Amino acid sequence: KGFELFGQLRATVFPLDAAFDVIVRRSLLQRDTMSSEENKYSVLLPTYNEKDNLPLIIWLLVKYFKKDNINFEIIIIDDNSPDGTLDIAKQLQTLYGEDKIVLRPREAKLGLGTAYIHGMKHSTGNYIILMDADLSHHPKFIAQFIAEQRRGDFDIVSGTRYAGDGGVYGWDLRRKVISRGANYVAQILLRPGASDLTGSFRLYRKDVLRKLMDVCVSKGYVFQMEMIVRARQLNYSVGEVPISFVDRVYGESKLGGNEIVSYLKGLLTLFATT
């Protein structure tokens, strides 16, 4: 009788356990689906003389966002490019729709940091993605950024060239030495808790980005470095995703002697104030 009773209990309880397990799994799946639908990701794309690269990067962004069923908008901040980048942007807006391609041009080249501030003011997403428009940052990594953010509930997810299987392709030795050297010196002086301090491919919670922009004072390339340093000061969490950085296909690099000097000045300022 004991064995018969045990068999009856198992026949009764195990199906209940299985049913409960199915209910839990469906609930978790529904939660993740709802979370994906509720979140909106705003890509900020500052441009200056990117008429050849812009159609390609927009096509890739739309392709991967739709593939992964991600709610998105792309905000193009053009600084009065003389090559006609804004005209190309207007054609892309007609092609993909005003709800997906948002144009917020400015009258002059006013710096990267202010471009992000300008774009964020017009964004409607609760997450912000910062990336370059020159095809150096491949949109295929964005899904990994989002997955990593959800996994660790991070405030920021940064693409890294210097950890895991990340890397740089297409640079000459001089550019590699400058980038590695700049990142190494920043690591020694600032100890930011991130492997790629000078990278510019990142995902932010919108409220976090807004607070960081309120306290950051740098412009240009130093802006990206200060963002991570200030995030550490404010105890924001930072996750990382290894990325492949590829040198631009069209156009010329905007990194010159003035930017290098500005970077060094900004580095010393951050070292003295953090």
Specify the pLDDT at position 28.
47
Burial class (CB in 10 A: 0-12, 13-18, 19+), 36: middle
Burial class (CB in 10 A: 0-12, 13-18, 19+), 35: exposed
Specify the pLDDT at position 272.
67
Specify the pLDDT at position 34.
40
AA identity, residue 38: E
Specify the pLDDT at position 184.
78
Q: Which of helix, strand or coil describes residue 43?
A: strand
pTM of the full structure: 0.79
Alpha-carbon span 272 to 108, nearest angstrom: 32
Q: Which of helix, strand or coil describes residue 61?
A: helix
Q: What angle do CA 257, 263, 268 make, to 5 degrees?
A: 135
Specify the pLDDT at position 110.
87
Specify the pLDDT at position 193.
75
Q: Which of helix, strand or coil describes residue 194?
A: coil
Specify the pLDDT at position 251.
59
Alpha-carbon span 111 to 46, nearest angstrom: 9
Specify the pLDDT at position 3.
45
Specify the pLDDT at position 87.
98
| Residue 48: its H or E element | none
Task: Provide block-wise average pLDDT over 10 residues at a time, the chain (274 residues).
Answer: 48 50 48 61 97 97 97 98 97 98 95 89 97 95 98 97 88 78 75 81 97 83 84 94 84 59 71 68
Q: Which of helix, strand or coil describes residue 41?
A: strand
Specify the pLDDT at position 31.
45
